[in-house]
Structure 1
Amino acid sequence: MLRIHFSDADLGRTRLAAAHDPLWETAASLHRLQSRKGSWAYAGWTRMARQRLRENGLERVVRDVLLRLYPRAEYFPDFLTPAAALEGLDAGAEAILATPPRRVLQEVAILDRTVGAPSWVRRLGEPGPRAELVGMLRAYHEAVVAPYREETQTKLDAERAARLRGLLHGGTDGLLTGLGPMMRWRPPVLEVTYPTQAADRDLYLNGRGLTLVPSYFNWAEPVAFADPDLPPVLWYSMLHEPSHVPADDPDKPLTALLGRARAVALR
């Protein structure tokens, strides 16, 4: 569990994002390729992603680079989803490029200790390899995330309307109370269900407030930065309506991208 501690000042500085976060949606969509959880909600997207990754020659980039940096595990580097991306993809890309090399190396070392990482990740401390990574992220985003921009924004607008009704009728308490089912507001603490593999922790906002970011591709547990000194952001899943799941093998897109052995392991 993640426990987020609010002061009166934090309640006044809590806000709901007005637009989707393109780099977080990129990260969360990569997680969808690594899990069957919620697959019914993303069946159409998964079919589209499989086709477009193949057409754009991105299957190897995803398999050998992006999935290694964004594992669906208890940790992946914070610098890959900077808060600046709330201002758009270009701002987020610039933030990745501007990340101090020391911080990059510290975070990829945590990745290596936590889930393992290939030796080449240490080169991301250098400007050239990091610029190459940003190019890969842009290509992936354009291929499989951008086509869902309109649907993502439509769901975000609906989510904002629902949350703002709570704010209108109950202030910030009303906003935070309506964030369930993965979050429970027990003033002055927001209790957040966290991935089962992650250790319990406390986040003290200390007057910085909290930015709540509804996410289209995030599924189940909300996610916050691992580093408590970064700007407090909480990404959480928007609810999805059931969609038609094709009658053929539901693992087919995942198997085609990752290989059957790994796809089976991720069930």
Structure 2
Amino acid sequence: MTLRIYFTGEDLARTRIAGECDAMWEVMLSLYRLRRRERTVVFDKWKQDIVAKVPAATRLLTTLAPERGYAVDFLTPRTEEGTLAAGLEALRRTTRKRLRSDLWELSMRHPATRLPGWVNGLATGDQQAIGAVASAVEAYFGACLSPYWPRIQSQVARERARRSTMLSQGGWGAVFSTLHPSARWSFPTLELSYPADHDIHLNGRGLLLQPSCFCRQTPITLRDPDLPPVLVYPIEHDAGWAHDEANGGHPALRRLLGLTRTHVLETIADGDCTTSELARRLGIPGSTASRQATALREAGLVRSQRLGQAVIHTVTDLGTALLEGRRPALMA
């Protein structure tokens, strides 16, 4: 079975690689990884660590995204930022028409599953029901993804940088043909293995390529071809990303600086960034990002330089040495 995406010249001009992780996609795809009985070096440690921490409200999400097959499109709304806050806001604004359509599709695609009564309220656009789903997403993210979020972002950022280099050197043909072992690119069509036959005609809208930490085996997209086109695809992981030495980075450094400040230092070390970019990568308020970057600058771990209206943060040699666990060179 095959996913076929049809491009025009205008679509190629409007196609782009997402700049950040998409929190809502990672929520939904991580739920698949959590429930499926698949042994993988990449995800086993994460599953072991969080299985006892999964909030009870997560059952609302697993109802809407069964272990296999169709999951409602409205759980992964398109936002420019890709942050949890933006995703939750978009989720709460889901129209009654979209709710009703997706839930009908869910019942048709999973006829053997009896949907609980609260889904009826969701289908009518009941704000309390929508709020309960949004709260379940927030609780699940906080317990199961937030402690790992800087490392998840780092994994995705590395993939994005690799794809951007590939695009600059070989064009979209090089990017498309290597997205997945099953990828076949011959303008105007990109074909990929997929659980079902599915066609998407972009018709000038372009395509968003969204690298994902928790996507596995095959790329995934939305069922409704009229929604903004997105192709979520699996990345190449650092196999130890979820282990203690990688989770939040450095245990000794966390004891010295605190968890949030360590995450800020690690994020800046992953690539120079502005205060707003730092806040977006970490999913924290801009005021918090600014305050933590200032503290690191005062400690000599970060250098900040104003460029127009923005302030660019860069890790110093001392900060790099601290992250790498080596003794910094003494000044002459």
TM-score under structure 2 length normalisation: 0.67
- Contact 2:8–2:203 (Cα < 8 Å) also in 1: yes
The residue identity in structure 1 corresponding to 2:230 is V
Distance 2:193 2:204 in 1: 23
Aligned to 2:328: none
Aligned to 2:74: 79
Q: CA deviation at 1:160?
A: 1.2
Distance 2:240 2:170 in 1: 33
The residue identity in structure 1 corresponding to 2:121 is R
After superposition, the C-alpha distances for 1:57-87 in whole angstroms (9 at most, x for unaligned) are x1x322x322111113221110110011743
- Contact 1:5–1:205 (Cα < 8 Å) also in 2: yes
Aligned to 1:126: 126
Match of 2:204 among 203, 207, 211: 207
- Contact 1:18–1:160 (Cα < 8 Å) also in 2: yes
The residue identity in structure 1 corresponding to 2:235 is M
Distance 2:147 2:218 in 1: 25
Determine whether 1:232 maps to 2:229: yes
Secondary structure of 2:62's counterpart equals helix
Distance 1:14 1:111 in 2: 29
Task: Flag structure 1 segments of 5+ consecutive residues without an equivalent.
Answer: 245-267
Secondary structure of 1:185's counterpart equals strand
Change in CA separation of 1:38 and 1:210 when aligned onto 2, cut-off 3 Å: farther
Secondary structure of 2:41's counterpart equals helix
The residue identity in structure 2 corresponding to 1:176 is F
Aligned to 1:61: 57
Aligned to 1:147: 147
- Corresponding pairs, count: 235
Change in CA separation of 1:239 and 1:52 when aligned onto 2, cut-off 3 Å: same
Of 150-159 and 80-89, the range deviating more from structure 2? 80-89
- Contact 1:2–1:191 (Cα < 8 Å) also in 2: yes
After superposition, the C-alpha distances for 1:87-125 in whole angstroms (9 at most, x for unaligned) are 311111111111111220121111011113323212112
Aligned to 1:15: 16
Q: CA deviation at 1:172?
A: 1.8
Aligned to 2:288: none
Q: CA deviation at 1:206?
A: 0.3
Aligned to 1:186: 186
Measured on the aligned residues, the alpha-carbon RMSD in Å equals 1.7
Determine whether 1:37 maps to 2:25: no
Aligned to 1:165: 165
Secondary structure of 2:5's counterpart equals strand
- Contact 2:118–2:129 (Cα < 8 Å) also in 1: no
Q: Point out the structure with max Rg over C-alpha.
A: 2
Aligned to 1:251: none
* Matched-pair identity in %: 37
Change in CA separation of 1:153 and 1:182 when aligned onto 2, cut-off 3 Å: farther
The residue identity in structure 2 corresponding to 1:11 is L
Distance 2:226 2:77 in 1: 13
The residue identity in structure 2 corresponding to 1:126 is D
Runs of 4+ in 1 over 6 A off after TM superposition: none
Secondary structure of 1:137's counterpart equals helix
Distance 2:118 2:179 in 1: 39
Change in CA separation of 1:38 and 1:157 when aligned onto 2, cut-off 3 Å: farther
Pairwise mapping of residues 236-247 of structure 1 onto structure 2 (< 5 A)?
236-242=233-239
- Contact 1:69–1:76 (Cα < 8 Å) also in 2: yes
- Contact 1:210–1:232 (Cα < 8 Å) also in 2: yes
Q: CA deviation at 1:241?
A: 4.5
Higher RCO, Cα 8 Å, sep 6+: 1
Task: Flag structure 2 segments of 5+ consecutive residues without an equivalent.
Answer: 242-332
Q: CA deviation at 1:36?
A: 2.5
Aligned to 2:100: 105
- Contact 1:23–1:89 (Cα < 8 Å) also in 2: yes
The residue identity in structure 2 corresponding to 1:122 is N
Distance 1:226 1:11 in 2: 22
Change in CA separation of 1:237 and 1:94 when aligned onto 2, cut-off 3 Å: same
The residue identity in structure 2 corresponding to 1:138 is E
Q: CA deviation at 1:180?
A: 2.3
Of 200-209 and 94-103, the range deviating more from structure 2? 94-103
TM-score under structure 1 length normalisation: 0.83
Change in CA separation of 1:112 and 1:84 when aligned onto 2, cut-off 3 Å: same
